[in-house]
Amino acid sequence: MISVSLEWIAEQVEGRLVGSDCKIDKVSTDTRADLQDALFIALKGKNFDAHDFVEQAIAKGAAAVICEKQQDIDCRQIIVENSRHALGRLGAAVKARVAPRTVAVTGSNGKTTVKEMLAAILSIRHPVLATQGNFNNDIGVPLTLLRLEEQHKYAVVELGANHPGEIGYTTNLVKPDVAILNNVSAAHVEGFGSLHGVARAKTEIFRGVGSQGTAVTPRDSEFYPCWERACTNMNWKTFGLTDSSDVFATDITLNGEGHPSFTLHLNGEARQLTLKLSGQHNVLNALSASAAASELGISLDDIVTGLEKVQPAKGRLTTIKVSDHLRIIDDTYNASVASTKAALDLLGSYKGYRIFVLGDMGELGADARAYHEEIGEHAIGSGINNLYSLGVLSQSASEVFNGNGGKHFGSLQSLVDSVLQRLTEQTGKQPVTVLVKGSRSAHMERVVAAIQQAVTVDDSTEEKHAC
């Protein structure tokens, strides 16, 4: 963080400084972090109160604390009405002081991918700050802004939400020059009541964009009229797969690894490129990032160079070659209806025997089972050989697929055993591709690890016997 005084911080967070002034260039909300000379902000939540750890923070070297009541301890303190709001105000103040050109990204799917694409594009010429991990809520966003340094010319900030009003709040902290609403689909429906509730919540991102800012949305969406109304008083760019969009793609093909090649059309220019990411849906993510980068004045050549640099992140449609006859597509980081369908489309593009392993998709509300049945139907249409499910809700998908090779399992080991049996049956006949997908709560990365370990052990045993 930039170096600022405690007096300046107290003014920005509307707090009262107790004790002497000093310089601060590091902020933390976690006593497990390095707190030497840091400002510790004592947050309160439903199940925790960091005020209980103020003494521990000071003992670890914190220079000062922000808290909601004065602590009976000899240390510098800034007393505020609400420490969570103080964190937000401080993040917004640091962002305003550094003043980087900023892009905010939200959407049901692809937020992180678009963020990484933009960071790769913008970092070609200048230092860029981008959201790390899943720091995209009302705590993570201000903590991201507090990482800004004077050298950052650009910032790319991911905004997530699980309830109405959250994106509106974080957008007002970020005040982006460009706001991307990447898409709306059935994700976190439980917290918004319906798919239209999701759309309304995501549209909050445009509230923090000034009249000189730009909104970026997909052209081909049922919610297009909603965004048309929301973006009336600002510059507005669309992306899609037809020339009715401002930024669009043509000539889309997938290579043997599922990586898309396409022609990018932007501002009357066109360039051919190939992504290192898998799946045709990543073409739309690339178009979204391209539209935003262009609004920041980035050339088409730099946009293409940046897009072609982006590597897949672990657990996000990562292709793992386990052996000569087995490929695993690890898409276990998270799952929504749209992202699961996109992963199935990719699986369906591979030749050979195709197995889909599905864990529960979480936070889908009252229609959760119907959404899982929809996935079972999509799997049938994608030409999948087997759909194996693990979890209470995912059973609805395998039941729809039943008769086509669908089966539900009560344990991880029984599922893995069945996959290995299919693999053995197909050895020497055709390659096998296994897609593993599920929400974070399903912990489907365990399936990936178990299959890898079992196949590695088998291969090692075969080598020993051959000796």
The predicted-structure confidence for 173-210, as pLDDT tens digits, reads as follows: 999 999 999 999 866 666 677 888 888 989 999 988 87
Give me the mean pLDDT over the 372-377 stretch: 96
DSSP SS3 for 463: helix
CB 153 within 8 A of CB 127: yes
Q: Is 109 annotated as belonging to a binding site?
A: yes
Q: Is 107 annotated as belonging to a binding site?
A: yes
pTM here?
0.88
Run of H or E residues at 174: helix 166-174
Tell which phi-psi region holds residue 295, choosing left (phi > 0), alpha (psi between -120 and 50) or beta.
alpha
- CB under 8 A, 24+ apart: contacts of 193-201: 193/365, 194/365, 197/164, 198/108, 199/223, 199/226, 200/164, 200/226, 201/161, 201/163, 201/164, 201/165, 201/166, 201/167
Distance (Å, whole) CA 331 – CA 111: 15
Q: Which residue has the tokens 């899609």?
A: 240
Give the residue from 316, 311, 276, 269 showing the smallest Cα distance to 290.
269
Alpha-carbon Rg for the chain, nearest whole angstrom, is 24
Residue 414 clears pLDDT 90, i.e. is over it: yes
Q: CA–CA distance from 218 to each of 107, 182, 293, 405 (Å)? A: 11, 7, 15, 36
Residue 460 clears pLDDT 70, i.e. is over it: no
Give the residue from 46, 69, 45 showing the smallest Cα distance to 54.
69
pLDDT confidence of 465, banded at 50, 70, 90?
very low
User: 141-160, pLDDT tens digit by residue?
Assistant: 999 999 999 999 999 999 99
Run of H or E residues at 240: strand 235-240
DSSP SS3 for 125: coil
pLDDT at 64: 98
Residue 458 clears pLDDT 80, i.e. is over it: no
Give the residue from 305, 255, 3 showing the smallest Cα distance to 124.
305
Distance (Å, whole) CA 188 – CA 465: 51
Could you tell me which residues come within 8 angstroms of residue 278 by beta carbon, excluding any fewer than 6 positions away? 257, 258, 259, 312, 317, 319, 329, 346
Distance (Å, whole) CA 147 – CA 218: 30
> Is residue 242 classed exposed, middle or buried when 0-12, 13-18 and 19+ CB atoms within 10 A define those classes?
exposed
pLDDT at 212: 87
Q: Is the pLDDT higher at 226 or at 301?
A: 301
β-bridge partners, 435: 329, 356
pLDDT at 445: 96
Q: Is the pLDDT higher at 405 or at 272?
A: 272
Give me the mean pLDDT over the 245-261 stretch: 95
Sign of the torsion angle spanned by Cα atoms 448, 449, 452, 455: negative
Q: Is 110 annotated as belonging to a binding site?
A: yes
pLDDT at 233: 84
Q: Is 111 annotated as belonging to a binding site?
A: yes
Sign of the torsion angle spanned by Cα atoms 35, 38, 44, 49: positive
Residue 331 clears pLDDT 90, i.e. is over it: yes
pLDDT confidence of 391, banded at 50, 70, 90?
very high
pLDDT at 457: 62
Amino acid at 341: K
Give me the mean pLDDT over the 294-308 stretch: 98
The one-character DSSP state at 92 is H
Q: Is 456 annotated as belonging to a binding site?
A: no
Q: Is 15 annotated as belonging to a binding site?
A: no
